[in-house]
Structures are given as C-alpha cells and as structure tokens.
Amino acid sequence: MDDVFKALADASRRSLLDRLHAKNGQTLNELCEGLAMTRQAVTKHLVILEEANLVTTYKQGREKLHYLNPVPIHQIGERWIKKFERGKLAALSELKRQLEKRDE
Amino acid sequence: MSKPDYIYVVYIQAPCETVWDALIDPEMNKEYWGRQCNLSDWKVGSRWQHANYDDHSEVMVLGTVLESDRPHRLVLSWARPEHAGNPDKVSKVTFTVEDQFGASKLTIVHSELDDEMRNAISGGWPPILSSLKTLLETGEAMPMTRRNWKRNA
C-alpha cells in the first residue's frame, strides 16, 4: 500500500492516471501527446505506477498498451471509507438524540 | 484482434490452484461475488452460466468455455442471456493466474465489450477482485460482496 500512496503523491502521475481513466489502453506515444513532460519522464512515471499496480500493460503485437488498474484504489477505499461512513452515521444519530432531548 | 477494454490485476497471497478454484467454485463465488456464482463443468466447449446462487434459474451472464487450463488460464465468452445469439454483444473474459514468488498474480482481461456491458462491468470487477483477495487471504470475504447485490441495488 506504501507503493500506491507514493505513486499517487505526484501530480504528473495522477494526470497520467486521469488520461488512462478517460481513455484506457494507450501506447506511450499516445500518453505523451500534448503533455509538457519529456518521453523519458513519462516512462519513469509509468514504471512507478506499474510497480504500484495502478497501471498494467498489455502487449499487442509490437505495441505496449497501458491500462488503469483500479483494484488497489478500491482496496484503499474499502479499508477506510467504510469507517468514515460509520462515523458519519454515529454523528447523525447523536445529533438526532440531542435535538430530540431538547424537545422534552 | 481488438484491444482489450479493461485489464484488472490483483496479487493474492495464495497458490495459483487455490485462486483458479475460487473462480469456479459456487460456494466461494457467492462470498465475493454478491451472492452470485459461476456454473459449468468447465470443459472447453461447455456452456457456463453466471447465476444467482440462491436461484440458479436467474442467469445474469452466460457463454462458452473457450479455454480451460487449470490453474493458469480460463477464457470465457460473456453475454447477457438475451444477447447470447448476437456476436456484437458477446464479449470475452480471460483469467490468467501466474505464480509470482509464491503469490498469485490474477489478471482479468475483458475485451470486445459493447457500451452497455462496458458500463455494467466497469464498476463490478474491482470490488469482486478485492473481495476475492480478502477471502483467500483472511478466510472471509468483504461484507459488501456477501450480500445479494441485486436486492440491495
């Protein structure tokens, strides 16, 4: 999970994920298009994203296609978001209890 | 060959055989797949169905077993029952299970999707795979995938 947070802690890498989210299965060339990053920088960022399992690649003929893999992000959500929801629910029931007490 | 629409990867601390068996065992399926299960004899050329565990007549997805090579590769055609006869509406799912230093790398490639199925599956695979990992590593699947998704939707 450290890898995932480290990989996500960089705006350039998040923008690469955004690009894959918008269009999955891009080649390095496609990913570089219109970006203010060098090809070398994009390659380096992709390696970090791949190591974190946020990007996975697929070889098709001579092309290497990049895919966004949302599974690790889902695991992060599962680990923490549920707890926050429980917190919200607890806060709401406390609010209800307090308001109803005042009516008494 | 068209390029895949989605590729999902999850690393699971379990032998490849365990992961492969969990993909086709209805008792395990129902735990991590929203109380749905996969039914077939898993021989190449056989039909397979993805159905409600509590009522097998409620079939959500069906298709043919295209490749079946335990524990490394399972390829299925994948369509809604009403579209099974329409080649434009039949997609393909490839499960690959590879050993990675004693753990398993499970890759799911979903290709040849039409827009309707693309929307349906894009939210579905990540929780299923996360929960499969949780089940195999802890012995218990995530609560959200043990409920019947349809009824709670």
Is B1 part of a structural domain of the chain?
A: no
ipTM: 0.71
Is B150 part of a structural domain of the chain?
A: no
Q: Look up the CATH number of the domain holding residue B112.
A: 3.30.530.20
Least confident stretch, B33-47, B61-75, B135-149: B135-149
Asked whether the beta carbons of A42 and A28 are under 8 A apart, the reply is yes
Chain A closest CA to B57's CA: distance in Å?
A: 31
Total domains present in chain B:
1
pLDDT tens over chain A, length 104 residues: 889 999 999 999 999 999 999 999 999 999 999 888 999 999 999 999 999 999 999 998 999 999 999 999 888 877 776 666 666 666 777 777 777 776 55
As a whole number of angstroms, the distance between CA B18 and CA A64 comes to 30
Is B152 part of a structural domain of the chain?
A: no
Is B149 part of a structural domain of the chain?
A: no
As a whole number of angstroms, the distance between CA A35 and CA A33 comes to 6
Is B129 part of a structural domain of the chain?
A: yes
Q: What residues does A63 pair with on adjacent strands?
A: A60
The pTM assigned to this predicted structure is 0.81
H-helix or E-strand containing B106?
strand B103-111
Residue type, A32: C
The per-residue pLDDT for B153 is 39
Out of A56, A73, A75, name the one closest to residue B7 (CB).
Answer: A56
> Does B126 contact A70 at a Cβ distance shorter than 8 Å?
yes
H-helix or E-strand containing A74?
helix A71-103
Is B78 part of a structural domain of the chain?
A: yes
| Average pLDDT estimate for B77-94 | 91
> Does B109 contact A58 at a Cβ distance shorter than 8 Å?
yes
Residue type, B77: S
Domain range for B134 is 6-143
| Average pLDDT estimate for B21-45 | 96
Counting Cα atoms < 13 Å in the Cβ hemisphere of B148 gives 9
Residue in A with minimal Cα distance to B133: A75
